[in-house]
Amino acid sequence: MTSGYTRLSASALPLTLLPGRDPGIRGSLSLPARGESPRKAARQGLPLAGTRGRAFQGWVRGSRSRLVPVLLAFIDLSVLTAGAGAASPAAAVEAEHGMVVSAQHYASAVGAGILAQGGNAIDAAVAVGYALAVVDPCCGNIGGGGFMTIHLKDGRDTFINFRETAPAAATAAMYLDPAGKPVADLSRSGYLAAGVPGTVMGLEHAAQEYGRLARGVLLEPAINLARDGYVLSRADADILAIKADRFAKDPVVARVFLRPDGSRFEPGDRLVQTDLAAMLEAIAQQGPDAFYKGPIPAAVETASSASGGILTAQDFADYRVTEGPPLTCSYRGYRIVSAPPPSSGGTTLCQILNILEGYDLKPLGFGSARSVHLLVEAMRHAYRDRNTYLGDPAFVQNPLERLLSTDYAARIRAEIDAGNAAPSAALQPVHEKAETTHYSVVDGEGNAAAVTYTINGSFGAGVIAPGTGFFLNNEMDDFTVKPGTPNLYGLVQGEANAIARGKRPLSSMAPTLVEKDGRVFLVLGSPGGSRIITAVLETILDIVDYGMAPQQAVEAPRVHHQGQPDEIDFERSGLTPETTVELTTRGYKLVEQRPWGAVELIEIANGRLYGANDPRRPAGAAIGY
Ligand code: DON
């Protein structure tokens, strides 16, 4: 599960922000050993020393005279630390003043540049959100939605909900044929699959309420990356390759995401997104109205209605974000701060933690059959409740108090102790695709932001309305299309998550903070659909119960059980033969899957910041300073 470091080529870091600076500055990004100050390493002339004795090198050269390396423009390069992937458990990137970990290294660099420029964690989170919309087009977005969990230096926690809403013309049966059967693909591709996007209003709300830099400053790196393009690494090109055949079917998409001759992009090619640059520029100048009013929603409505969709300009005009308290619980003395409904993320995470708190996991050993058994049975119960009870709180009553009570956890433990694996309907195994993205940001003042946002399936609904430059989401598939029918992630859900106009589909996204004594200890989250919750859960257990170092926890193999299908999914080579034999004897069906999720983690320990990028997303990087 490890990958080597990524070497960035001369043209691979178009980290541009300010006009007029020297475009030829060179520098290197270093990985000081854990416990060693980056400043000290730099002073000692250890520009490329890493924890593994390996180098992470990159240098920056603008391709035009006006291009400027953002990081180099703002900060003393010798104090920058970066890492993409990792080769050993201890290889988290260490820094003193700020840290950004995202699934795309340019975006991480943009965030670190904003921090270095005096922005706080929320400024950086907003800038990274826009940058990922450009450099991580499968997943980063302005055509989707998500959640931001924030800790402020004064001790407050808050949660911004910018989840998509169902269009006004949406109905419970909109994806069923006259016989009441779901129509294949209708909720997953094309305009009818799209909810009303929330990302732009969510990012703007965050910046306005909690940021301090001007909107133009936060958007400029993304605009430059879109307008001038960025050079694709192998990892970037691989993500585009997943959907290259589909890109070819839509001329608007093909013009941007395929070469002029129709072939797929290769590493070293430059991806330029002119329409997206114009869209971002308009947001920079006019604010969210540029996205929610006027020509952009009109263009979406025109393209949508021409293709059987129901999105209207009025849906955009009616869109609103909400802000409120995050969902919290405690686990072994830590405070878990995560996503409330309309995400199931925090509720299901806390429900599983409540159950597990009654066991002493450490002596059972990481990955042992006994510990996996307890984990999986807790997951089974929590996912059953998720799929039965949870939905958008604006529409349904979520029985949170009951689900999160210690009595309820004790009752479930009693059942687990008594029982073995229970049979359930056979459903297709779920296969991970790269679609959502999570990033974590911490600044030097004590602010932190965990953001998970998505267009759901890979490249969302696969459509870009002409002239808009952004992929629309296919988030409508997160609703219950029909009770009893599995969605993209194999989730079999109920009436609480039925489609209704203006309602938000139930999510599994779990941007999470773990706090101790009022201070942030961990910032984390993951993509992975229904597996987001278990990826976050297991990373917390790996650190809190098993004492793993941050990078080790991120890399550790994962298991997943969501009730239905009734099987334990495990990552390739993630369970020992002894464990698999014993679990099989206990009655479990085990299904090996390709690695899933991408936990982007920051741990704060002894006043220092440790960033761990998940090597399952090799384009990502932890960058601090
Ligand atoms: O909100 C949700 O739960 C899903 N739409 C997330 C999709 C996702 O994580 C896809 N990534 N692999």
Give 86 Cα–ligand 1 centroid separation in angstroms. Answer: 25
pLDDT at residue 458 in the model: 87
Q: Enumerate residues lining ligand 1, CB below 6 A.
A: 433, 435-436, 454, 456, 475, 478, 507-509, 527-529, 532
pLDDT at residue 209 in the model: 98
Q: Which atom of ligand 1 is nearest to the CA of 475?
A: 5
Confidence of residue 75 (pLDDT cuts 50, 70, 90): very low
Separation in Å, CA 435 to CA 140, 264, 549? 8, 19, 27
Tell me phi and psi for residue 138, to 5 degrees.
Answer: -65, -25
pLDDT at 39 over 50: no
Give 78 Cα–ligand 1 centroid separation in angstroms. Answer: 37
pLDDT at 534 over 60: yes
Q: Give the residue, by CA position, lying nearest to ligand 1 atom 6.
A: 529
pLDDT at residue 564 in the model: 87
Tens digit of each residue's pLDDT (9 = 90 or more) over 440-496: 999 999 999 999 999 999 899 999 999 999 999 999 999 999 988 888 888 889 899
Output DSSP code: residue 605.
E
pLDDT at 423 over 80: no
> What is the pairing mode between strands 145-151 and 448-454?
antiparallel
pLDDT at residue 486 in the model: 87
Tens digit of each residue's pLDDT (9 = 90 or more) over 377-407: 999 999 999 999 999 999 999 999 999 999 9
The better pLDDT of the pair 219, 7 is held by: 219
Other beta carbons within 10 angstroms of residue 589's beta carbon come to 16
Distance CA 155, CA 167 (A): 37
Give 608 Cα–ligand 1 centroid separation in angstroms. Answer: 31
Q: Give the residue, by CA position, lying nearest to ligand 1 atom 4.
A: 529
pLDDT at residue 37 in the model: 36
Q: At what angle do helices 121-135 and 199-210 cross, to 10 degrees?
A: 160
Distance CA 240, CA 617 (A): 13
pLDDT at residue 489 in the model: 85
Q: What's the mean pLDDT when you consider all of the chain?
A: 85
Give 301 Cα–ligand 1 centroid separation in angstroms. Answer: 25
When pLDDT is averaged across residues 500-520 and rounded to a whole number, the result is 97
Tens digit of each residue's pLDDT (9 = 90 or more) over 82-93: 654 444 445 899
* Catalytic positions: 436
Query: How is residue 230 written in tokens?
Result: 């960025």
| Cβ atoms 624, 601 nearer than 8 A | no
Q: What is the pTM of this model?
A: 0.88
Query: How is residue 494 written in tokens?
Result: 């109920």
Q: Give the residue, by CA position, lying nearest to ligand 1 atom 1.
A: 507
Tens digit of each residue's pLDDT (9 = 90 or more) over 331-340: 999 999 999 9
The better pLDDT of the pair 606, 62 is held by: 606
Distance CA 277, CA 625 (A): 28
pLDDT at 109 over 60: yes
Q: How does DSSP assign 517-559, residue by residue? A: TTEEEEEE----GGGHHHHHHHHHHHHHTT---HHHHHHS--E
Q: Which atom of ligand 1 is nearest to the CA of 531?
A: 9
- 497-520: burial string, b at 16+ Cβ within 10 Å, e else: bbbbebbbbbbbbbbbbbbeeeeb
pLDDT at 76 over 70: no
Query: How is residue 197 written in tokens?
Result: 């996007």
